[in-house]
Amino acid sequence: MRGSDFKVSGKEGRGRRTTSPAQANAAPAERAFLVGLEYRKRARSSASGSAKGSLTSGAQAARDSANPVPGASKAPAIPEFSAEESLAELRSLADSAGAEIAGEFLQHRDRPDPATLIGRGKLEEIAGAAASVSADLLLFDHDLTASQQRNIERAVHTRVIDRTQLILDIFARHARTREGQLQVELAQLEYLLPRLSGRGVEMSQLGGGIGTRGPGETQLETDRRKIYRRIRAVKEQIEGVRRIRAQQRQRRESVPVATVALVGYTNAGKSTLFNALTRADVVASSKMFATLDPTIRAVALPSRRKVLLSDTVGFIRNLPHTLVSAFRATLEEVQRAALILHISDASSPLSAEQDAQVERVLKELEVEGKPRLRVKNKIDLLAPLQRESLRDDASTVHISAVKGIGLSTLLDRIDQALDEDRPFRVHLLVPQKEGKMLALLEARSRIYSRAYKDGLVELEAEAPQSVVRRVKEFVVE
């Protein structure tokens, strides 16, 4: 493989901008030049991918599983994105942020340069290529530290945006509810704060564009003192919204109806399925992160039992930390659900990689032990032969949310899964030091009474069978 690959979309002449019809009346799309990075590693078959999913081991693991060496014994690898696949995902992210792709560059290196990630000579080359296609900004398929971003900007004299900032920008565009907007603004401000020093001038000259948009098309503040003040105000407002949300949840939970949560990689088709099952009209779109705000609707199952279906924000590889914490409250719906439906795009060549990423987030949310159904969506896009070979099994259902294929089977399966996890009334004596068990009970059961004595908590609760199984040793007859 060569040391680096340049690709330039050279249809437009130098300095000329084209806009799609939809953008005709809006500001012209920004032209983004994408920069990917891949680290070479010597390890071959043993690369199983690190838990953190770094580009280094991940890319290698993916290549190894894609091109297995004949006869080589392979450790089961966590499927990961290769640098090319990651760059393809960055393209859709850029598109979702409203940018036009001017060109791209994939750099292969042995290790990152701590100051600029990429060597200075290479950076100049990139700057030249970006200028020749009149790019307005460089998009790095990587997270940059504050100083790396600053150093690179100085070397290339162009705006530099990293992957986290790009995702934050998409979230800012798509947040609709007050809570969603506040959460995104908080994440953006916290991202921006350490990046202000020494960049005051550049930042204040930015005008609009990716990385400067706040939720609801307001411009992000760039004055440090004002940002501190704003962070405090936003946090207070979020607290207020959360209190209301908790009250709403309490009201909802006073009626015994199970919640079924839809989770999955962004663009898997969660909202399309949600709409098909509930006849709601949540925005479903080919843009990534179309849904940010959780929506809950009642659905009647074939058994006539009613459940609440909840549609939430999609997951993505390396979800920025600031966003994970900002969206914790939103994801509580998933933590409280009686059943999780994991929706995947069966037609995507990256289906396995995306599933592995979803597993990772579910683990982080500590819900990997919850009853779960895997829903493989978009089977209408598969070749007929491939489709015929699909078999539903105890934990998997194949559907097409758009064509309505497999939906009645899915509803039956939801019914069955909930039957298997019926709630039981139990009387428990749990030592106070069993924090994890107590937290599990608080999250997953309805508690009727609670008393403390001699380091024990006495509880009267109604918990699903799967939870009762886990706290069995504390149940008193």
Ligand X SMILES: Nc1nc2c(ncn2[C@@H]2O[C@H](COP(=O)(O)OP(=O)(O)OP(=O)(O)O)[C@@H](O)[C@H]2O)c(=O)[nH]1
Residue 175 CB neighbour total at 10 angstroms: 22
Binding letters toward ligand X, positions 111-150, x by CB under 6 A: ----------------------------------------
Task: Tell me which stretch binds ligand X (CB under 6 A): 57-65, 188-196, 231-239, 399-407.
Answer: 399-407
Q: Which residue from 288, 259, 255 is spatially nearest to 274, judged by alpha carbons?
A: 259
Give min distance, CB of 96 to Mg ion, in A: 12
Strands lying side by side in the sheet with 100-109: 4-8, 100-109, 31-39, 137-140, 159-162
Q: Could you write out the DSSP letters of every residue in 308-347? A: EEEE-PPB-TT--HHHHHHTHHHHHHHHH-SEEEEEEETT
Residue 398 makes contact with ligand X by CB under 6 A: no
Largest CA distance in the chain: 80
Residue with tokens 């959780």: 294
The entry of Mg ion, ligand X, none near residue 378 (CB within 5 to 8 angstroms by kind) is ligand X
Of 64 and 311, nearer to ligand X (C-beta) is 311
Q: Which residue from 372, 352, 375 is spatially nearest to 362, judged by alpha carbons?
A: 372
The entry of Mg ion, ligand X, none near residue 390 (CB within 5 to 8 angstroms by kind) is none
- For 139, the token pair is 């998009």
Give min distance, CB of 380 to ligand X, in A: 5
Give min distance, CB of 9 to Mg ion, in A: 29
Nearest residue to ligand X on Cβ basis: 314
Residue 335 CB neighbour total at 10 angstroms: 15
Of 270 and 370, nearer to Mg ion (C-beta) is 270
Binding letters toward ligand X, positions 400-419, x by CB under 6 A: xxx-----------------
Residue 380 makes contact with ligand X by CB under 6 A: yes
Give min distance, CB of 272 to ligand X, in A: 3
For the chain, the C-alpha Rg in angstroms (whole number) is 24
Residue 381 makes contact with ligand X by CB under 6 A: yes
Q: Is 107 helix (H, G, I), strand (E, B) or coil?
A: strand
Among 48, 148, 291, 318, binds ligand X (CB under 6 A): 291
Distances (CA, A) of 301 to 26, 274, 298, 409, 437: 45, 14, 10, 11, 31
Q: Which residue from 38, 288, 29 is spatially nearest to 135, judged by alpha carbons?
A: 29
Residue 263 makes contact with ligand X by CB under 6 A: no
Among 86, 107, 259, 272, binds ligand X (CB under 6 A): 272
Q: Is 297 helix (H, G, I), strand (E, B) or coil?
A: strand
Give min distance, CB of 312 to ligand X, in A: 8
Residue 261 makes contact with ligand X by CB under 6 A: no
Chain centroid, CA 469 distance in Å: 31
# residues contacting ligand X (CB under 6 A):
23
Site for ligand X, residues 3 to 62, rule: CB under 6 A:
none
Give min distance, CB of 288 to ligand X, in A: 5
Give min distance, CB of 286 to Mg ion, in A: 11
Chain centroid, CA 338 distance in Å: 21
Distances (CA, A) of 44 to 40, 63, 422: 11, 9, 47
Of 49 and 294, nearer to ligand X (C-beta) is 294
Binding residues for Mg ion, rule: CB under 5 A, are: 270-271, 290-291
Give min distance, CB of 180 to ligand X, in A: 12
Of 159 and 376, nearer to Mg ion (C-beta) is 376
- For 398, the token pair is 């194949």
Q: Are 360 and 79 in contact (CB under 8 A)?
A: no
The entry of Mg ion, ligand X, none near residue 116 (CB within 5 to 8 angstroms by kind) is none
Q: CA end-to-end span of the chain, whole Å?
A: 68
Of 122 and 270, nearer to Mg ion (C-beta) is 270
Task: Tell me which stretch binds ligand X (CB under 6 A): 164-172, 280-288, 362-370, 408-416.
Answer: 280-288
φ and ψ of 11, to 5 deg: -65, -40
Binding site for ligand X (CB under 6 A): 264, 266-272, 284-286, 288-291, 314, 377-378, 380-381, 400-402
